Amino acid sequence: MESESESGATADTPPLETLSFHGDEEIIEVVELDPGPPDPADDLAQEMEDVDFEEEEEEEGNEEGWVLEPQEGVVGSMEGPDDSEVTFALHSASVFCVSLDPKTNTLAVTGGEDDKAFVWRLSDGELLFECAGHKDSVTCAGFSHDSTLVATGDMSGLLKVWQVDTKEEVWSFEAGDLEWMEWHSRAPVLLAGTADGNTWMWKVPNGDCKTFQGPNCPATCGRVLPDGKRAVVGYEDGTIRVWDLKQGNSVHVLKGTEGHQGPLTCVATNQDGSLILTGSVDCQAKLVSATTGKVVGVFRPETVASQPNLGEGEESESNSVESLGFCSVMPLAAVGYLDGTLAIYDLSTQTLRHQCQHQSGIVQLLWEAGTAVVYTCSLDGIVRLWDARTGRLLTDYRGHTAEILDFALSKDASLVVTTSGDHKAKVFCVQRPDR
């Protein structure tokens, strides 16, 4: 592996007045929990004096007042029962993204091909407000760590942030064509990757900005590491960079044989941030040490389906890694493939433990916190729950009449919220007898 220390800060980046990313200054003040030692990431921003990072008690979800949607007539091959409790139907085109507010898990934000984003209530689907002003498909949306702000981003690179309680827009910025967007886990800091290869970081709402220059190709996926001080970004040329958010330089660069042989599609980190998992259209998932930047494992599909002889002009079906993640209670990782395969890998032995087949491509997977249950959503419009210890299908949830494009899971795993090409978002109440 070639490890470089590349400077990613652009010379014309405006200086930060209240948010510093250089030298020994610190960028995110963390209020210490009482009692308990300070978080090691407290040095990320000392100048944000108005940010309170104290953990608040999780509010119990109110399961009263669920509104059972009447089943609508459905057509096509996905015709069938609707297991959802609530349907949100204000979008007029495919709904691309969904995120839940992390503080209470009572609100959702969805964005769609209709250039619209909405914040709405999970219990009954009631609209709180529209995030207006986008002129292209809204592909990214999410709440800040404390649920006070909500950000939306469209394909053209227009990002907007609203204050949830006042429903007022407080910040906007036009970057390059948007690839991904994520809030920092401890502060009102927003990160995004764009098609020009840049990764952007802003303090919201004052707009202090920092850029991290990657290769001259799209920054296709990214994730802030749990320490809050670094971010891992994957690029279209197959390279992977781990950025120091304070210093502005890349601390690890994986390229060539150490990187991927195709564009990256997804990245994930384990709970303590020591391991990174990357996925690509090259069908490989690479396990990387976040400390050393070394590849410590490579996972490939067990079998590659043989293709029949193809006629002239026909292409073989391609496969790729679409989603991946770490189990929080066992040394397991899950990788979801476009061909419908869910692979459960044992990290301690780096062997395939289970292979769970779907009828169509996997779009996304999520692990349930504190368990070995992994959720998948797929192009057949179905959410499935799998026991990663046995590879057994626990249950599935149906109701969409087109492919599921994104989904989110509540903290207590009582709710799954999905978005689909059928112009709907749906809320499913998860019933698990073993819980």
Q: Is the pTM of this model over 0.95?
A: no
Residue 277 CA to residue 128 CA, distance in Å, equals 36
At 201-241, the pLDDT tens digits run 999 999 999 999 999 999 999 999 999 999 999 999 999 99
At 239-273, the pLDDT tens digits run 999 999 999 999 999 999 999 999 999 999 999 99
pLDDT given at position 432: 66
pLDDT given at position 433: 57
Residue 126 CA to residue 149 CA, distance in Å, equals 19
Contacts of 15 (CB under 8 A, 6+ apart): none
Domains, the chain: 319-407 (2.40.10.480)
76 C-beta neighbours (distance < 10 Å), count: 9
* Block mean pLDDT (10 aa), the chain, length 435: 44 43 41 46 45 39 38 47 97 98 97 98 98 97 98 98 98 96 96 98 96 96 97 98 96 97 98 97 97 97 49 59 98 98 97 96 97 97 97 97 98 96 98 62
Alpha-carbon distances of 137 from 263, 332, 377, rounded to whole Å: 22, 35, 21
Residue 156 CA to residue 137 CA, distance in Å, equals 8
Residue with tokens 């009828």: 359
pLDDT given at position 318: 84
Q: DSSP characters for 137-159?
A: -EEEEEE-TTSSEEEEEETTSEE
Three-class SS state of 378: strand
Residue 1 CA to residue 241 CA, distance in Å, equals 12
pLDDT given at position 435: 53
- Does residue 394 contact residue 386 with C-beta atoms inside 8 Å? yes
Alpha-carbon distances of 304 from 307, 316, 339, 341, rounded to whole Å: 9, 12, 10, 11
First-to-last CA distance in the chain?
Answer: 44
231 C-beta neighbours (distance < 10 Å), count: 23
Cis, peptide link before residue 205, omega less than 30° from 0: yes
Max alpha carbon distance in the chain (Å)? 70
* Burial class of residue 197, CB neighbours in 10 A (0-12, 13-18, 19+): buried
- Does residue 211 contact residue 219 with C-beta atoms inside 8 Å? no
